[in-house]
Amino acid sequence: MALTKEQFITEFKDMALKLYAAPIEDLSSQQLYQALALLTRSYIAQPWANTKERYDEEETKQVFYFSIEFLPGRLLQSNLLNLGILDEVEAGLEELDLHPQKIFAAEADPGLGNGGLGRLASAFMDAMASVGMAGNGNGIRYQYGLFKQAFVNGYQVELPDDWMRNGFPWETRKENRAVTVKFGGWVELRPSRSGHLRVIYHNTDDVLAVPYDVAMVGYHNGVVNNLRLWSAEAPINAGPHFTLEQRERINQITQILYPDDSDNAGKELRLRQEYFFTSAGIQSIVRHYRRTHNSMAGFADRVAIHINDTHPAMAIPELMRVLMDDEHVGWDEAWRITLKVMSYTNHTLLSEALEVWPIDMFSGLLPRIYQIVQEIDRRFRLAFVPQFGQAMIDRIAPLGNGQVRMAYLATIGSHAVNGVAPLHSELLKKDVLHDLFQIFPERFNNKTNGITPRRWIQIGDRPLAHLLDKKIGTAWRQNPLALRKLHDYIDDTRFLADLNATKAENKRELAKYIDQTVHVKVDPDAIFDVQIKRLHAYKRQLLHLLGILDAYLAIKRGEKRPKRLHIFGAKAAPSYVYAKEIIKVMNAVADMVDSDPDVSPYLQVVFLPNYGVSMAEKIIPAADISEQISTAGKEASGTSNMKLMSAGALTLATLDGANIEIKNAVGDDNIEIFGLTEKEIAGYYQRGDYRSRDFYEKDPRLHAVLDMLVNGKIPGIETEGRDIYNALLMYNDEYFVLADFESYLAANARLDKLYQQPELWAKKALVNIAESGRFSADFTVQRYGREIWHVVPQTPEDDGTDTEG
């Protein structure tokens, strides 16, 4: 859109006055943010309405991305960027003597997601709008995010993430689009006079699902898509017998992301959440469709629904329910439509993340849905037992072992099933969904994850963005494949020095931020070695920690090394004791290193609390090394690996997830690979001959490091150190940390050496930036669009460079 600086200044002052009846000089950063957000919304309103109208008029096929998490990050800057008015707005604010970055920082990160899964969903929202695809999100409007992480005495403490405290100016409440979601009670099936089955519900607990819509603005293309978030409310005519307790139970549904599910009540609440947003989404999609169509026959030509991980897998029986019970479509036709509409992405091979529900709970809470799942199960068995045998079908039918198995249900009810990196997609076929692959081989495919360089470079890394503009022009901002032009400058000494200078500038900025947030002074000349992701044993923050302890001992012995600053950001799930123990030990090691004058000139460790999208925007541009060190075969894809690469960090990686594609993209010389391969690990499993103790016995460095966990050298970790020591030695190190220790150290030593040659380092950084464009989510969603959703993407065109296989 077009907006001059002067126009902006007038409109902004006007908006601030209308909102606060005060001149801008008197407003706080939060108030300025609110005024600016509302003004920005007013710019979005018309293209938002136009986009909707166009989709309806042209009967565009629409994608609905169902996800229990979205992690959009702050929206103000990104909306201004995508509208094409960021520069004008910043110039205007500066002219008013205001600090744009201070105002942007007043925005709370939406607490609607927690990790890679949610961030990917939001990257897809941004990408779909930006390539002109009609893509909508469907999720939950959580009052509270997962939790706000603080450290007390080195321990993780979980505080409420009251992210909506100051309101969420980007949302629009649409009570005229509310729907009712039914729980519990019982159903009666009665033939009606017209021959249809009448489904009569008795004694249900009804919940009103009220949608809040958030605009998803496309980059410089006038497209604005919709993210619909559902909030649970008491029914309007709840009647005199509606108790406070009932009201409370309803409020709970959308109160918090991932409520504690360590007991049955918590589990049931999660099931309620899942059905709630899935049912509300399906009902609203069908209702919208039916406004302009008098039958459901063409539904699958106009609608694609994507199941992001299994949380929304109930979309399958729910669509069947609506088609049959409300629209009176027969089973066969309803199933044909459902299969054509639904597609499913699996995001993990970890068994604990493959959801199952106890049948008692499921059938009690969702009696009609359970009947439909039973019928899906019955027909599945009938169709495939003759060819594949009872034993195999028993293993993979939707119902089995007293459970509803959501990954199997999702696979059976979708026409496409994908993993998120080639290795992961292969392992799905080989392992977790192997039997289903035998039956439906044509459904399985890979769609490697992607990221949005708009947020990570254009917004997050402005020094780099400006340098790129100067050297290769601005085409990369529209089409990130244009970053490849950087290869032409691989021998341009001046440019390589400039690249190093932007990194140095970003490191100084991060050093300031670290000082402000945790009051630790770090040396901006150190190597910034970054590991930012959820804390999980398979991601092996512990291996990184053992490496730090080894460096500590080496420096104590008098070895000289280039100074390294290890930066961690990670939340542990509140009930994940082992992960929390690792956090405690990390914090203890950070203190120990910091207070040792022999060591602190060469080594520093900082664990930044409450890692999230906004913090990532600060850390990533400053990273020299990106640690992607999961046990091979365990990380489905990863996306921080892609973001860090695009900032020119060198990846220190195992051959896992999308690391493999990064390696293929940059070549062996521009990435540091170490560790066991997935095949080698599978070999250990098959033979059953992994003995972690052998590594401990034969490697004196490892021995010394592990002993530190229990010999009192690290203060305050008696219990935690012992538990970790035992997990590694007595319980045989489930994630092969000890097996990979030696090669991890060797890879680190190579990086230390390389850092002594700044120009060579910069060349490798350059190759990483140049090749990062292929990981743009714009291309990822175009592949989904072409191959799964069958919608036609518009701009900009993928050049066919495929990262798959």
Binds ligand 9GP by CB under 6 A, chosen from 72, 100, 111, 115: 115
Is 307 an interacting residue with respect to ligand 9GP (CB under 6 A)? no
Instruction: Give backbone dihedrals phi and psi of 204, rounded to 5 degrees, phi first.
Output: -80, 160
- Report in angstroms how near the CB of residue 582 gets to ligand 9GP at its nearest: 17
Distance, C-alpha 419 to centroid of its chain: 14
Rounded to the nearest 5 degrees, what angle is found at the Cα of 617, between the Cα atoms of 655 and 608? 80
Separation of alpha carbons 750 and 625, rounded Å: 12
- Cβ-contact 81, 129 below 8 angstroms: no
- Cβ-contact 306, 789 below 8 angstroms: yes
Task: Considering only the stretches 110-118, 148-156, 230-238, 601-609, report the one whose residues sit in contact with ligand 9GP under the rule CB under 6 A.
Answer: 110-118
Number of H helices, E strands in the chain: 33, 23
Separation of alpha carbons 339 and 228, rounded Å: 23
Binds ligand 9GP by CB under 6 A, chosen from 32, 39, 83, 120: 120
Binds ligand 9GP by CB under 6 A, chosen from 161, 233, 268, 309: 309
**SS3 category, 710:** coil
Binds ligand 9GP by CB under 6 A, chosen from 122, 637, 651, 659: 637
- Report in angstroms how near the CB of residue 538 gets to ligand 9GP at its nearest: 9
Binds ligand 9GP by CB under 6 A, chosen from 47, 638, 773, 785: 638
Q: Which of 141, 477, 534, 774 is catalytic?
A: 534
Positions 397 through 436 that interact with ligand 9GP (CB under 6 A): 420
Contacts for 460 with CB less than 8 Å, ≥ 6 apart = 616, 617, 618, 620, 621, 647
Decide whether 80 or 662 has the Cβ nearer to ligand 9GP: 662
**SS3 category, 160:** coil
- Report in angstroms how near the CB of residue 200 gets to ligand 9GP at its nearest: 38
Separation of alpha carbons 399 and 381, rounded Å: 10
- Report in angstroms how near the CB of residue 598 gets to ligand 9GP at its nearest: 39
Decide whether 331 or 538 has the Cβ nearer to ligand 9GP: 538
Separation of alpha carbons 184 and 204, rounded Å: 5
Q: Please give the size of the binding site for ligand 9GP, defined by CB under 6 A.
A: 16
Decide whether 171 or 661 has the Cβ nearer to ligand 9GP: 661
Q: Which of 639, 651, 654, 803 is catalytic?
A: 639
Separation of alpha carbons 539 and 630, rounded Å: 4
Q: Which sign does the torsion angle of CA 215, 218, 224, 225 carry?
A: negative
- Report in angstroms how near the CB of residue 678 gets to ligand 9GP at its nearest: 14
Q: Which of 74, 148, 571, 643 is catalytic?
A: 643
- Cβ-contact 791, 133 below 8 angstroms: yes
- Cβ-contact 535, 578 below 8 angstroms: no
Separation of alpha carbons 683 and 690, rounded Å: 9
Q: Which of 272, 306, 347, 764 is catalytic?
A: 347
Task: Considering only the stretches 347-355, 362-370, 576-584, 693-701, report the one whose residues sit in contact with ligand 9GP under the rule CB under 6 A.
Answer: 347-355
Task: Considering only the stretches 404-412, 598-606, 632-640, 762-770, report the one whose residues sit in contact with ligand 9GP under the rule CB under 6 A.
Answer: 632-640
Nearest partner of 648 among 448, 449, 804, 460, judged by Cα: 460
- Report in angstroms how near the CB of residue 236 gets to ligand 9GP at its nearest: 36
Comparing every residue's Cβ against ligand 9GP, the nearest one is: 116
Is 226 an interacting residue with respect to ligand 9GP (CB under 6 A)? no
Decide whether 143 or 348 has the Cβ nearer to ligand 9GP: 348
Decide whether 335 or 779 has the Cβ nearer to ligand 9GP: 779
Binding to ligand 9GP by CB under 6 A, coded x per residue (else -) over 646-685, reads: -----------x----------------------------
Q: Which of 228, 311, 477, 539 is catalytic?
A: 539
Separation of alpha carbons 25 and 190, rounded Å: 68
Binds ligand 9GP by CB under 6 A, chosen from 113, 116, 218, 621: 116
Q: Which of 272, 447, 503, 533 is catalytic?
A: 533
345 catalytic residue (yes or no) = no
Decide whether 92 or 312 has the Cβ nearer to ligand 9GP: 312
Decide whether 32 or 120 has the Cβ nearer to ligand 9GP: 120
**SS3 category, 673:** strand
Q: Write out the H or E segment, with its range, that includes residue 34.
A: helix 29-57
Strand order in the sheet with 564-569: 603-607, 564-569, 527-532, 625-628, 650-653, 672-673
534 catalytic residue (yes or no) = yes
- Report in angstroms how near the CB of residue 354 gets to ligand 9GP at its nearest: 9
Separation of alpha carbons 461 and 466, rounded Å: 9
Binds ligand 9GP by CB under 6 A, chosen from 581, 624, 635, 720: 635
Decide whether 41 or 119 has the Cβ nearer to ligand 9GP: 119
Q: Which sign does the torsion angle of CA 194, 199, 200, 206 carry?
A: negative
Binds ligand 9GP by CB under 6 A, chosen from 77, 130, 449, 772: 449
Decide whether 110 or 118 has the Cβ nearer to ligand 9GP: 118
- Report in angstroms how near the CB of residue 137 gets to ligand 9GP at its nearest: 15
Decide whether 637 or 646 has the Cβ nearer to ligand 9GP: 637
539 catalytic residue (yes or no) = yes
Binds ligand 9GP by CB under 6 A, chosen from 232, 416, 636, 662: 636
CA dihedral 291, 294, 296, 301 (to 10 degrees): -70
With both helix axes pointing from N to C terminus, report the angle between 462-472 and 493-518 in degrees, rounded to the nearest 10. Answer: 170
Contacts for 222 with CB less than 8 Å, ≥ 6 apart = 1, 47, 50, 51
- Give the distance between the most distant pair of CA atoms in the chain: 91
What stretches of 403-460 adopt beta strand conformation (E)?
A: 403-405, 416-419, 444-446
Decide whether 43 or 258 has the Cβ nearer to ligand 9GP: 258
Decide whether 582 or 599 has the Cβ nearer to ligand 9GP: 582
DSSP codes of every residue in 725-741: HHHHHTS--TT-HHHHH
Tokens describing residue 27: 């407003």
507 catalytic residue (yes or no) = no
Task: Considering only the stretches 112-120, 174-182, 250-258, 618-626, report the one whose residues sit in contact with ligand 9GP under the rule CB under 6 A.
Answer: 112-120
Is 47 an interacting residue with respect to ligand 9GP (CB under 6 A)? no
Binds ligand 9GP by CB under 6 A, chosen from 130, 221, 626, 639: 639
Separation of alpha carbons 263 and 71, rounded Å: 27
Q: Which residues bind ligand 9GP (CB under 6 A)?
A: 115-117, 120, 309, 347-348, 353, 420, 449, 635-639, 657
User: Catalytic residue positions?
Assistant: 347, 533-534, 539, 639, 643
